[in-house]
Amino acid sequence: QGLKPVVSTESPAPIFGTTSNPASDLPATDSFFSTNKVPNLQKIFQKADGLPVHLKRGLPDKLLYRTTMALTIGGTIYCLIALYMASQPRHQ
């Protein structure tokens, strides 16, 4: 004697049917089948030039990094000021 399974052990019927057109009949797009950029990016990121990975691609990475740091520092200062103001009693 054992417990009967609550959930059916049979696999459910497929929800989606098969398509009438196989994938090979679909038109190829240039953006999907573009050249492989991974080997070129590996050369850039594995170069031993002393830069951190997040700054290897030049000016756009530097701008993004500096903007992120400025927003982080600004947000931290804003939070500290808001906490200081919230901790002060109100004058009536």
CA–CA dist 92, 90 (Å, integer): 6
Residue 16, sorted as left (phi over 0), alpha (psi -120 to 50) or beta, turns out to be beta
51-91: CATH class: few secondary structures
Q: Where are the domains of the chain?
A: 51-91
Convert the pLDDT of each residue in 51-89 to its tens digit.
Answer: 888 888 889 999 999 999 999 999 999 999 999 999 998
| pLDDT band at residue 1 using 50, 70 and 90 as cut-offs | low
Higher pLDDT, 21 or 61: 61
Given a cut of 60, is residue 28 above it in pLDDT?
Answer: no
Please tell me the predicted confidence (pLDDT) of residue 11: 73
pTM score of the predicted model: 0.52
